[in-house]
Amino acid sequence: MFKSKKNRMARGIKYIIIISIIILGVAVNISVRAYTMSSSNYRMESDSINTGGVDLATSTNYRIKDTIGEIATGNSTSTSYNLFAGYRQMDESSISISGGAAATMSPNVGGISGGTATGSTTFTVMTDNSAGYALSISASTDPALKSGSYSFADYTPASPGTPDYSWSISASDSEFGFSPEGSDILAKYKDNGSACNTGSGGVSDKCWYNLSTSDEDISSSSSSNHPSGTLTTVKFQAESGASHLQEAGAYGATITATAMTN
């Protein structure tokens, strides 16, 4: 016996957002730093007392940077500090990212009556890189939120490239988008109380944008935030319009967060 399309839709829609994390930029060269000596013709970023070495040697099998005869090198730690002594160790930094718990959106939305479901997850990025970090997110599929062959369209802001201050879709559509919040969010997601990509505010549940399979930068800093790190919250929203018929099912999206040193 076949059930009507109307009955199948009436069961409602469930959403599960799966979060994955990528960390990039561990032990990378710092591109911005203080310098020890300078003149009108040069800057000496760091100096070392040693008897020799090679700045960079390579072959088909290896890459090496070395110094000879340098004293007092190595790692030293205590409850108050981490010391990376030596010319080569000064050229490296670290980055970590935590959080990214799965976000279960609620409430369930009726396939015929429509409605809105919301959820959120958080990421904390910590780096000792003096040039800071960048945090981006991307979706594994296009569109992001799917259930088999059925899907919600990715959110469409009124002005391409600029988030909508207030979430808004047509009653005949269903769409899925996100909004980041935190002290390091990009200017694109800041607001002046009525519009995004302007001002310095960060009103909660504002500045909505679409996910894509390409990385979308959402937070960044230009300095170290070690050892406390910085929290960014990513809020998700899915809506099926009152005159839109959305097929019932468990809808899910896989979102990848990537943290990199600058």
Number of domains in the chain: 2
Q: In the predicted model, is pLDDT for residue 101 greater than 70?
A: yes
Q: C-alpha 71: how far from its chain's center?
A: 40
Same domain, 82 and 110: no
Kind plus residue range of the DSSP H or E element containing 5 = helix 5-9
Burial readout 183-209 (b: 16 or more C-beta within 10 A, e: otherwise): ebbbebbbbeeebbbeeeebbeebbbb
Q: What is the CA radius of gyration of the chain?
A: 24
What pTM was estimated for this model as a whole?
A: 0.72
The phi and psi torsions of 180 (rounded to 5 degrees) equal -90, 150
Same domain, 181 and 104: yes
Structural domain for 85, as ranges: 37-91
Same domain, 65 and 84: yes
Instruction: For the chain, report the end-to-end CA distance as a whole number of angstroms.
Output: 60
Beta strands in the chain (DSSP E): 13-23, 37-38, 43-44, 52-58, 63-68, 74-77, 82-85, 95-99, 103-109, 115-127, 133-139, 146-147, 150-151, 153-154, 174-181, 216-220, 230-240, 249-261
Q: What is the dihedral of CA 197, 126, 93, 131, to 10 degrees?
A: 30
Same domain, 249 and 218: yes
Same domain, 59 and 106: no
The conformation of residue 213, written as its DSSP 8-state character, comes to S
Same domain, 43 and 15: no
The phi and psi torsions of 113 (rounded to 5 degrees) equal -75, -20
Same domain, 151 and 219: yes
Query: For the segment 16-65, what is each residue's pLDDT rounded down to a tens digit?
Result: 556 544 444 332 222 233 445 667 766 555 566 666 666 667 777 776 66
Same domain, 110 and 186: yes
Same domain, 45 and 161: no
Same domain, 87 and 102: no
Query: For the segment 205-243, what is each residue's pLDDT rounded down to a tens digit?
Result: 999 999 999 999 999 999 999 989 999 999 999 999 999
Same domain, 155 and 231: yes
